[in-house]
Structure 1
Amino acid sequence: MQMDRLSARSLRLVCLSLLPLALSGAVAGKKPVIGQIAPDAELTLVDGTKLNLGEMRGDVVVLNFWATWCVPCRTELPILDTYYQIQKRHGLRVYAVTTEGSVPLYRLKPLFGRLQIAPARKIKGPYGPIDGGVPTNYIIDRSGKVRYAKAGALTLEILNEQLVPLLRERAPTQ
């Protein structure tokens, strides 16, 4: 009988102690929804620099999730890089986030040594491959709204269709 009370009490304590964690996860886990303000996230670049997505308001941001084994990803990265080089002066930021946490940095450096887009090692926040598919891309406008979220490679046509109107928009005033 005493053992049952101890077990029930222990279970209640464990549940109560996990409640704040569960609640914070529910708030922090808000998924990106097209047309709504993008949930905040923290990017960790390959060089260790940490960037906050919320601080990028005023720029158009592309979050590209890719993998080394993904053939469409390896085709898409040079297209994204060339597009970025042409449009960065208009307020475009592109981050290529690897979905493979176990890939050693020395395997990523040769690829990104040739590219100007920023390679990210990880992201803390509700972004990632949609339905497990890579590449996955999110586009966030200057006001911080999600304007595109889709699994599948970006082509030049899609980039122009999605980004040109957003890059023409004025940055919101504070």
Structure 2
Amino acid sequence: MIKWTVGILIAVLIISGIIIKMVKSNTELTESIETIQAAYVTSVIDNESGLEKGKVPPNFELPTLSGEKVKLTDYKGKIVILNFWASWCGPCKVEMPHMQNYYKNNKDATNVEIIAVNMTSEERGGQKSIEKFVKEYGLTFPILLDNDGIVMDLYNIITIPTTYVIDTDGVISQKILGPMDDKMINELVENLK
């Protein structure tokens, strides 16, 4: 009985060692692939599209939820927080209250505008999902609808939320991948004043 138990224990340890080695090897391979992909994506985004820091981002015109047409160039002379999001995106749900809080507290006192471009072509529930999200989070800044995904493609949006901070000269100051909070938004804006 003891030999049997010891044998099973040794077999479990050997199998565990093999599994750990395979997972570690797979993790290193995955990290290498992700590093290469990130370098390629950064290269494509930064060198070919004009979306890197210090460049003027592509202009676009999109409708708002109420049907008005808005152009990015309408906001030249202001600091623009240009955010790409979707209603099903968990990190977007975390970020939106912070953006709304900043907007509510600063829209009249600063030269800052928040523009949230909904990736409407990727929405799972259509415009009703967007309207429900906007109401639930009490969003009062402009919500633009990228119905055909053209702006999403133009800005090479792969991860959401993605935010571009554009200075008063209409030049990209920062690109943020992932959710922002109040502190980050304040710091990004303060660095441009």
TM over 0.5: yes
Aligned length: 137
Where structure 1 has 5 or more consecutive residues not aligned to the other structure, the ranges are: 1-28, 169-174
> Shift in Å at residue 35 of structure 1?
1.1
Specify which structure has the higher proportion of strand: 1
Given residue 102 of structure 2, which amino acid in structure 1 is its aligned partner? Y
Instruction: Choose the corresponding residue for 2:139, options 115, 130, 146.
Output: 115
The structure that is helix-richer by fraction is 2
CA offset at residue 62 of structure 1?
A: 1.0
In structure 2, distance between residues paired with 1:37 and 1:65: 17
Amino acid at match of 2:118: T
Is 2:87–2:129's contact at 8 Å kept on the other side of the alignment? no
Aligned counterpart, 1:73: 92
State how far apart, in whole Å, the 1-side matches of 2:56 and 2:166 are. 9
Question: What one-letter code is carried by the residue in structure 2 that aligns with 1:108?
Answer: I
Instruction: Confirm whether residue 152 of structure 1 aligns to residue 188 of structure 2.
Output: no
TM-score, normalisation: structure 2: 0.64
CA RMSD, Structure 1 to Structure 2 (Å): 1.9
**1:31 and 1:127 in contact (8 A); partners too:** no
TM-score, with normalisation over the residues of structure 1? 0.70
Closer, same or farther in 2 for the Cα pair 1:100/1:43, shift >3 Å? closer
Q: Which runs of 5+ in 2 are unaligned?
A: 1-47
Identity %: 27
Mean Cα displacement is larger for which, 38-47 or 71-80? 38-47
- Is 1:136 the counterpart of 2:133 in the alignment? no
CA drift of 1:128 comes to 4.7
The verdict on how the C-alpha distance between 1:116 and 1:164 changes in structure 2, with shifts beyond 3 A counting, is same
Paired with 1:54 and 1:111, the residues of 2 have a C-alpha distance of 26
**Quick one: distance in 1 between partners of 2:164 and 2:173?**
8
Q: Deviations over 1:72-106 (max 9, x none)?
A: 10010111011011121212111221224243222
Q: Of 71, 77, 86, which residue of structure 2 is paired with 1:52?
A: 71
Is the CA contact (8 Å cut-off) linking 1:43 and 1:124 kept in structure 2?
A: no
